[in-house]
Amino acid sequence: MNKDISIWMPLYIGDLQAKFARMTAEQIGAALLLMMDFWKNGAIPHDLATVCSITKLPQHTKAKTLLNTLMALELFEVESEQIHSNFLSSLKSQALQNQQMKSDKAKNAAQARWGKSASNAQASTKHRKVNAQAAPEKSPSITQVMLESCPSSSSSSSSSSSSSNFEEKNESFLENSKWI
């Protein structure tokens, strides 16, 4: 299974609304773009030109103000000339664990469903092969089963499956049957 979760990112509305409460619409949009870039690509170079490119902010002063705000909100940190987010790294780790757990559950469910069915199908196929190899005269026809279950005046019901006994029962049945 693909372990790449970069195609989606959880957004916890209540948490983000609380963090973005005092930000402008432009800052919120820029912050989300920065968060998405970090989620997909990892650490971001601590360079205002790069931040402006990612956030689409037109001025370095706006980018610097945004970074200061995001660090105060503990959404991002600057370490070794790179911008990191412990907040997003924690969410990403949790998402990977959830994905692995769901994958394991799906594999176990498939094994439980199809693993048993596969062994049953093999046993059923084997059983059919054994029945197909049996002599056709040993398996009773529907007529034979019906004749054995019907009482006959000439003989008692017998479980013998020989062909002569079958012919006798058949003749007896036809003689005693009255067709209107």
Residue with tokens 């069915």: 117
Pairwise CA distance, residues 17 & 129, whole Å: 67
Question: How buried is residue 63: exposed, middle or buried, by Cβ count under 10 Å (0-12/13-18/19+)?
Answer: buried
pLDDT at 160 over 50: no
Q: Which residue has the higher pLDDT, 139 or 16?
A: 16
- Domains of the chain, CATH where assigned: 1-133 (1.10.10.10), 136-176 (no CATH)
Q: How confident is the model at residue 130 (pLDDT cuts 50, 70, 90)?
A: low
pLDDT at 2 over 50: no
Q: How confident is the model at residue 42 (pLDDT cuts 50, 70, 90)?
A: very high
pLDDT at 136 over 90: no
